[in-house]
């Protein structure tokens, strides 16, 4: 194990390398129109300092992990206290109850702006939960998830524009359309594994976006569809404030329903077959599980969830265009799942709240958002591949002490 | 049918193919050795183009001979891209060599995001124009409607690189070590090959090729921004898959096929769908011949 001075020395070397490596991009800025060059020498100091700090913690963490002395929440003092409180009878219920109460009250005690942002976070929670089924439970990587989201949003927008279909009818229809799209994409795709699947889903996602951008008649191309109506309550339309609150409550309800569905699926026969498939597909197949069928259900259910989220998104924003459904949107949803914890519902919720709310409230940090997310993805994969809240596999214990009788 | 138009599309398809080939080689080599889709490979091409642009502008604004500027810019771009390639491998892939492949892929996506936004933040989100440094070849005068000097330069550089690269892989000791590692890395290690060095070297060569491609194509197209690497990277990957991933000859063949498909597709069908053809090719090839044109299908052992 290295001591601090050694780590600091190594980090200093890394800082120098970092300065050299980033020199042309960070220091020299070229204005090709006026043919002027700006030298930003202060960048060298900045880059050096940032690399030094990151490198110090990086190496220290690596050393700790190698020697096995990492921080474990469940064994720490705070963790033990948390578990002792939570295990008291009735505590879980009352915590959950007050949480639900707080969530329902949010739109009535905060500004519409806050409500609207939290609604976006809720939409991302739905998307995260949907993608989590594929990535977390099934172990398949779908990089075109935003396309399914887009199919849902466009289903509502197009049906409304042409036939005046309302939100409540569009909600299931969006889900169904997206599920159908998932089935069509799934047919050729699901024979593939791992990396290939990732790239092909990315390809399908981009193809969908290109078609949407170019079919002017159906989707109004790149300019998008505006004036999508907000949801009504049995024919009663709300004003601006009312509808913001109303959409928020719909989003909360949908999140709860989807959490329930996911939770039931996870522990069902189908859900367990997904996990088995993730762990070892050959063993899984030899146990009599039809891989194609189980992958197909996985894909369709996750697409349907994205479709529902899409309808909600279209209703909330009242305007959609293809730019909302690019690869980077898919990757953003993937970040939520990976950061929060693959396969864990609580993790996904936490991930969406962090990634959507934090940049909204830290404006200065907004510009660096994607840079930091990219870095976070690497850090998570290197140090904590399971995410912040790691999914714990269910362990079946046999009740009762073994007896010697 | 217009023969001139056909010829023009053919030649521009070959140009695209050359650039894809330079990038696809990096993909296929890395995949051959550590079985990882280096999602960030396209970004190395973008970084090469940016470094080249910065150096070339610096030199040409101070009135240095354009040919010399181009050569120096290319060399510096190669050095920087290779350094980035090796650094990325050390930071983001090496710690993940023993973990799931999904983790490495996600890490690669992270690298790609990071590098794009790094250039976006420290440079600009606008298109920058690349100084016009390629000399006009006099002997091309009669065919200048079909073939530009830049295209000829791209063909020549790609050909030279491919020849040099083939010699490196086939006839040198390093090449032998690379081939051995890709066949069986454990056995190679037992025979005294330093796997880490081989992997670093692979990243270095791949990134260098991407940088050459980046500088050449940007000086032909004339403008670049931070996003150019992503889509080209994906297309080069498609080319590598088309040829059979892991096979070097396949990567080159796949690149030219894809370049021609795209060129004729945009020329005869519609230029709105320029980026679509690559994905269609990818889906068709993976559905009907997943091993690619020249790849060997791997038998799965239980």
Q: Does residue A87 fall inside a structural domain?
A: no
Nearest CA in chain A to B94: A382
Q: Does the pLDDT value for residue B298 go beyond 80?
A: no
For the four alpha carbons of A388, A328, A279 and B242, in that order, the dihedral sign comes to negative
Binary contact (B106, A381; C-beta < 8 A): yes
Domain boundary among A70, A101, A127: A70
The phi-psi region of residue A90 (left if phi > 0; otherwise alpha if psi is between -120 and 50; otherwise beta) is left
- State mean pLDDT over B266-292: 82
pLDDT at residue A90 above 80?
A: no
Q: Which chain A residue shows the shortest CA-CA distance from B100?
A: A385
How many other C-beta atoms lie within 10 A of the C-beta of residue B166?
A: 14
A295 lies in some domain: yes
Return the pLDDT at B302. 57
Angle at B98 between CA B93 and CA B99, to 5 degrees: 80
Cα–Cα distances in angstroms (integers) from residue B285 to residues A85, A302, B234, B289, in the given order:
57, 26, 15, 5
- CA dist B158 and A146 (Å) reads 37
User: What does the pLDDT look like over A324-355, one tens digit per residue?
Assistant: 888 888 988 988 898 888 888 888 988 888 88
Q: Residue A195 domain-assigned? A: yes
Bridge partner residues of B155 (DSSP): none
CB–CB of B57/B171 below 8 Å?
no
Beta partners for residue B129, in sequence order: B223
**Chain A partners within 8 Å of B110 (Cβ):** 373-378, 381
| Count of structural domains, chain A | 2
Q: Higher-confidence residue: B142 or B220?
A: B220
Q: Is the pLDDT of residue A210 over 80?
A: yes
Residue B234 reports pLDDT greater than 80: yes
Tell me how many degrees the CA angle B274-B280-B282 measures, rounded to the nearest 5: 115
Boundaries of every domain in chain B: 34-226, 231-297
**B146, B9 contact by CB (below 8 A):** no
Angstrom distance (rounded) from CA B70 to CA B59: 9
A30 and B283: CB-CB below 8 Å? no
Q: Given a cut of 80, is residue B256 above it in pLDDT?
A: yes
| Strand, coil or helix: B69 | helix
Q: Which residue of B has its CA nearest to A331?
A: B109
Contacts of A211 in chain B (CB under 8 A): 276
B37 neighbourhood in chain A, CB within 8 Å: 195, 198-199
Mean pLDDT of A116-143: 89
Do A46 and A161 fall within a single domain?
Answer: no
Q: Residue B100: its chain A contacts at CB < 8 A?
A: 385
By the CB < 8 Å criterion, does B293 face chain A?
A: no
User: Are residues B111 and B234 in contact, defined by beta-carbon separation less than 8 angstroms?
Assistant: no
Q: With the C-alpha atoms ordered A297, A298, A300, A301, is the resulting torsion angle positive or negative?
A: positive
Quickly state the pLDDT bin for B275 (edges 50, 70, 90).
confident
Residue B1 has pLDDT above 70, yes or no: no
Tell me, yes or no, whether A21 lies in a domain.
yes
Contacts of residue B241 in chain A, CB cutoff 8 Å? 196, 199
pLDDT of B287 strictly over 70: yes
Q: Please say whether the beta carbons of B274 and B259 come within 8 A.
A: no
Distance of alpha carbon A113 from alpha carbon A120, whole angstroms = 11
CA distance B118 to A350: 26
Q: Which of B58, B101, B105 is the closest to A37 by Cβ?
A: B58
Which CATH number characterizes residue A338's domain? 1.10.3470
- Structural domain that includes position A321: 110-383
Q: Which of A39, A70, A101 is the last residue of a domain?
A: A70
CB contact under 8 A, B105 and A37: no
User: What residues of chain B, 229 to 268, have a C-beta less than 8 Å from chain A?
Assistant: 230, 234, 237-238, 241
- How far does CA A283 lie from the centroid of its chain? 30
pLDDT for res A163: 86
Chain-wide mean pLDDT for chain A?
Answer: 84
Q: Are strands B128-129 and B223-224 parallel, antiparallel or unpaired?
A: antiparallel
Shortest CA gap A303–chain B (Å): 20
More confident residue, B273 or B191: B191
Give the separation between CA A113 and CA B46, rounded to whole angstroms.
Answer: 38
Residue A70 confidence (pLDDT) above 70: no
Q: Do residue B100 and residue A385 have CB atoms under 8 angstroms apart?
A: yes
B273 touches chain A (CB under 8 A): yes
- Looking at the predicted structure, is the pLDDT value of residue A69 above 80? no
Shortest alpha-carbon distance between residue A364 and chain B (Å): 13
Q: How far apart are the first and last CA of chain B?
A: 55
Smallest CA–CA distance from B60 into chain A, residue: A35
pLDDT attached to residue A354? 86
Label residue A129 by pLDDT band (50, 70, 90).
very high
CA distances from A129 to A168, A170, A247, A266, A347 (A): 21, 21, 19, 12, 10
A284 and A363 share one domain: yes
Average pLDDT value for residue range B13-22? 90
Lowest average pLDDT, out of A83-97, A162-176, A298-312, goes to A83-97
Confidence band for B277, pLDDT divided at 50, 70 and 90: confident
Instruction: pLDDT band for A21, please (50, 70, 90 cuts).
Output: confident
Asked if pLDDT for residue A169 goes beyond 60, the answer is yes
What's residue B85's pLDDT? Answer: 93
- pLDDT the model gives residue A145: 92
Q: Is A38 helix (H, G, I), strand (E, B) or coil?
A: strand
- Pairwise pLDDT comparison (A287 vs A395), residue with the higher score: A287
Could you give the CA distance from residue B199 to residue B36 in angstroms, rounded to a whole number? Answer: 12
Q: How many CB atoms neighbour CB B300 within 10 A? A: 8
Task: Please state the rounded mean pLDDT for residues A26-35.
Answer: 80
- pLDDT one-digit tens code per residue, A212-229: 888 877 778 777 888 788
- The answer to whether A311 and A155 are in contact (CB under 8 A) is yes
CB contact under 8 A, B110 and A375: yes
Asked which of B25-34, B93-102, B138-147, B165-174 is least confident by mean pLDDT, the reply is B138-147
Q: What is the pLDDT of residue B297?
A: 64
φ, ψ at B75 (rounded to 5°): -65, -45
Q: Chain B residues with CB inside 8 Å of A39's CB? A: none
What local confidence, expressed as pLDDT, does residue A72 receive?
A: 65
Q: Is B53 on the interface with A (CB under 8 A)?
A: yes
Quick check: A374 and B115 CB within 8 A?
A: yes
Q: Write out the H or E segment, with its range, that includes residue B17.
A: helix B3-34
* DSSP secondary structure code for residue B195 in this structure: H
Are the beta carbons of B95 and A62 separated by less than 8 Å? yes
Average pLDDT, chain B: 86
Q: In chain A, what is the straight-line distance between the N-terminal and C-terminal CA atoms, in Å? A: 50
């Amino acid at each position: 194990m290295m001591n601090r001075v050694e780590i600091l020395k190594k980090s200093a070397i890394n800082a120098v390398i970092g300065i050299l490596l980033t020199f042309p991009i960070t220091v020299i800025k070229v204005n090709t129109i006026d043919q002027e060059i700006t030298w930003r020498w202060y960048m060298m100091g900045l880059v050096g300092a940032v690399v030094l700090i990151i490198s110090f913690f990086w190496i220290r963490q690596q050393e700790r992990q190698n020697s096995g002395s990492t921080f474990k929440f469940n064994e720490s003092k705070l963790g033990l206290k948390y578990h002792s409180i939570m295990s008291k009878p009735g505590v879980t219920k009352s915590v959950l109850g007050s949480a639900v109460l707080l969530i329902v009250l949010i739109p009535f005690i905060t500004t519409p702006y806050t409500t609207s942002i939290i609604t976006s976070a809720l939409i991302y929670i739905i998307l995260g939960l949907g993608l989590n089924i594929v990535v977390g439970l099934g172990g398949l990587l779908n990089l075109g998830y935003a396309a399914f989201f887009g199919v849902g949003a466009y289903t509502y927008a197009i049906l409304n524009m042409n036939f005046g279909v309302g939100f409540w009818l569009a909600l299931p229809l969006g889900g169904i359309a997206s599920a159908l799209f998932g089935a069509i994409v799934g047919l050729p795709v699901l024979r593939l594994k791992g990396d290939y699947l990732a790239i092909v889903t990315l390809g399908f996602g981009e193809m969908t976006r290109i078609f949407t951008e170019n079919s002017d008649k159906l989707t109004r191309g790149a300019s998008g569809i505006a004036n999508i109506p907000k949801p009504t309550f049995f024919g009663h339309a709300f004003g601006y404030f009312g509808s913001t609150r109303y959409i928020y409550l719909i989003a909360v309800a949908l999140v709860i329903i989807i959490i329930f569905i996911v939770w039931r699926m996870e522990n069902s026969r189908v859900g367990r077959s997904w996990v088995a498939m993730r762990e070892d597909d050959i063993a899984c197949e030899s146990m009599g599980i039809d891989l194609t069928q189980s992958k197909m259900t996985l894909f369709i259910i996750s697409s349907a969830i994205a479709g529902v989220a899409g309808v909600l998104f279209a209703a909330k924003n009242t305007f959609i265009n293809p730019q909302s459904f690019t690869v980077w949107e898919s990757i953003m949803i993937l970040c939520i799942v990976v950061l929060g914890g693959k396969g864990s519902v609580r993790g996904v919720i936490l991930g969406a709240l962090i990634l959507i709310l934090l940049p909204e409230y830290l404006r200065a940090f907004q510009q660096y958002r994607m840079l930091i997310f990219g870095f976070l993805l690497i850090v998570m994969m290197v140090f904590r591949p399971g995410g912040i809240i790691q999914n714990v596999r269910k362990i079946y214990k046999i009740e009762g002490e073994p007896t010697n009788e | 049918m217009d023969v001139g138009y056909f010829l023009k599309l053919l030649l521009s398809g070959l140009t695209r193919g050359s650039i894809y080939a330079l990038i696809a080689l990096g993909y296929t080599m890395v995949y051959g050795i550590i079985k990882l889709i280096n999602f960030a490979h396209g970004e190395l091409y973008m970084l090469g183009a940016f470094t080249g642009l910065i150096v070339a502008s610096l030199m040409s604004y101070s009135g240095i001979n354009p040919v010399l500027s181009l050569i120096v810019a290319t060399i510096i771009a190669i050095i920087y891209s290779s350094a980035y390639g090796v650094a990325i491998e050390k930071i983001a892939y090496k710690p993940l060599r023993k973990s799931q492949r999904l983790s490495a892929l996600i890490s690669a996506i992270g690298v790609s995001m990071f590098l794009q936004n790094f250039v976006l933040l420290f440079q600009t989100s606008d298109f920058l124009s690349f100084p016009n440094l390629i000399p006009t070849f006099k002997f091309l005068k009669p065919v200048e409607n079909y073939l530009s000097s830049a295209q000829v330069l791209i063909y020549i550089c790609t050909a030279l690189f491919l020849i040099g690269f083939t010699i490196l892989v086939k006839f040198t000791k390093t090449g032998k070590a690379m081939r051995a590692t890709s066949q069986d890395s454990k056995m190679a290690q037992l025979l005294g090959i330093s796997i880490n060095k081989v992997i670093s070297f692979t990243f270095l060569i791949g990134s260098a090729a991407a940088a050459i491609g980046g500088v050449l194509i940007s000086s032909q197209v004339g403008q670049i921004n931070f996003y150019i690497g992503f889509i080209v990277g994906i297309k080069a990957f498609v080319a590598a898959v088309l040829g059979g991933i892991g096979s070097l000859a396949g990567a080159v063949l796949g690149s030219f096929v894809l370049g021609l498909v795209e060129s004729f597709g945009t020329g005869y069908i519609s230029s709105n769908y320029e980026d679509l053809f690559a994905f269609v090719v990818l889906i068709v090839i993976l559905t009907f011949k997943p091993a690619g044109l020249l790849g060997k299908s791997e038998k799965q052992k239980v």
